[in-house]
Amino acid sequence: MTAPTPNWWKSSTCYQIWPASYKDSNGDGIGDIPGIISTLPYLKDLGIETIWLSPMYASPQKDMGYDISDYEDIYPPYGTLADMDELIEKCHGMGMKLILDLVVNHTSDQHKWFVESRKDKTNKYADWYIWRDPKIVDGKQQPPNNWRATFGGSAWEYVEERDQYYLHLFVAEQPDLNWELEETRQAIYKSAIDFWLKKGIDGFRVDTANLYSKDTLYPDAAITAPGEVTQPAFKHYLNGPRMHEWLREIREQVLDNYGDVLMVGELPYTERDEVLRYVSAEAREYSCVFDFDVVMLGNDHVGGGKKHQTFTHTLPQFKAAIAKCQDMLVGTDAWVTVFLENHDQGRSLSRFATDKDEFRDQAAKMLAVLLCCLTGTLFIYQGQEIGMYNHPEHWGIEEIRDIDSLNAYNDVKERHDGDELWLKKAMKGIQAVGRDNARLPVHWDASPNAGFTTGSPWIRVHDEFEKTNVADQQKDPNSVLHFWKKMIALRKEHADLLVFGTQFEVWDRHDQHVFTFTKSHPTTGDKLLVFLSFSDDIEPLHYPTWVKDAEKELLISTVAEVGKYLAPWEARAYLLKGGAVNGA
């Protein structure tokens, strides 16, 4: 079907690759770019049209590549610039696009800009980062304010050479760039953006896309965590006063030279009206953004160190979060993304469905129906297409590599004097929402190390890779992988309704076991009716009253034969022709 839009990225099916854990080609235990290149036919066959490659830049890897020491070079274990050129060329040769992570709120403390900046207050790079004098209280030196870093602790680090502190909203090895200085901005545009667009990439996923503009007075944050030294300071650096100005500057000075460049922003903790300012087509800032309401359910660790406070969300809360994102399209010229997984989240099967052996495949297929039937640009995360799930509960902290999870665990350990009960709570939270769940190696086959590497993997491979792997699922026409392939093809065939459908409506907002929603074709009046079971039991099927006697065509089902009831974790979608649903 012809999509009613000139933007290629709206109807594109995107696939995120976390390079360290995707495919190792040389046996060093770390995924690499040649490994990615070797799987391009697999991705093409799946129906992928755009690859999002997470950071592959030169980096000391204090935060898995989000601490960049050179925007114009590659982390050696991943490969070379020549490998990247080959990846770009081969993606385009197969009709696929490639987007990269854009990480420009901060650099690594080993980037040449910061190495020079920290030397003294008078060199060329002196003001390229955010430096402030110490605060003296009762004769004692303290950080300039009480802001808390995202992963916990103070957001300021002292440097003796300057007798000043620099700001780092993340770890100390990730100093924040000073966007207020035009010279800094121009260097960022040239090195981090233009360099790669010249090489032919098709866009960026923009990391921490609303943090560049800070409150330049750097006041203390209000006390919202009594008794603690540092305080969450979001209001002083989220969606700051010059964010929109700078994003328009990027579009006008750089992106417009390269046509329809995709810029998909990461915008956590941002209200609807503010999000719309970023994604309005007229504003020309971000093409679309990731809405985090869904993936943050049960994941209450804002401000660092709170992973032990995870809680169980309800299906009505899940429906409400999805509806909020879909409603972003009502009466606006905005666009949204559709996703349940990325490199920062637990696996969707474990988070939102079930990873019990007897229901796991059915639940994975059900989530595929949900995602492929929502309006927006679809993003799939590596391994999601085979139904990978969270690491086992018995794993200990020694298996964890993620700095966020390690900081959270150590924070609990320190606060509670190593109390065993509290440490178990911390590990339970890490098992539920820790970032390493998504960063375990992809299961390519049932050979040692899941076919990810012939060497020793940088992080432990999931214990149950023999149950869930690409090679076995490719042979099984009823596998999760084959079902995903079928759903992606169906989404393309019915793009006007599945990708661009309007009037999203949930019909059972308070039902704890079944999720029923409808969407409409933008012009014909055709409707999509979707039933999703989130239950281990058989559930009754409740049609909206206006649809009971309408002529229904079954578009897709996760079971061989549909009945009058929903089987456990079943999904089905019906097409209702416009004339059959008068007045609906």
Q: Which residues are catalytic?
A: 207, 266
CA–CA distance, 428 with 424 (Å, rounded to integer): 6
Residue 35, φ and ψ in degrees, nearest 5: -60, -40
Contact 315, 512 (CB under 8 A): yes
CA dist 385 → 20, 489, 532, 552, 572 (Å): 18, 14, 18, 28, 18
Burial per residue of 219-250, b for 16 or more beta-carbon CB atoms within 10 angstroms, e otherwise: eebeeeeeeeebbbbbebbbbbeebbebbeeb
**Three-class secondary structure of residue 381 per DSSP:** strand
Query: Do the bridges between strand 571-576 and strand 527-533 make them parallel or antiparallel, or are there none, so unpaired?
Result: antiparallel
CA–CA distance, 214 with 432 (Å, rounded to integer): 32
CA–CA distance, 115 with 401 (Å, rounded to integer): 26
CA–CA distance, 186 with 22 (Å, rounded to integer): 34
Angle at 220 between CA 219 and CA 224, to 5 degrees: 140
**Three-class secondary structure of residue 284 per DSSP:** coil
CA–CA distance, 349 with 336 (Å, rounded to integer): 22
Residues 6 or more apart in contact with residue 436 via CB below 8 angstroms: 391, 399, 400, 401, 402, 405, 430, 459
**Three-class secondary structure of residue 404 per DSSP:** helix
Alpha helices in 39-80 (DSSP H): 40-46
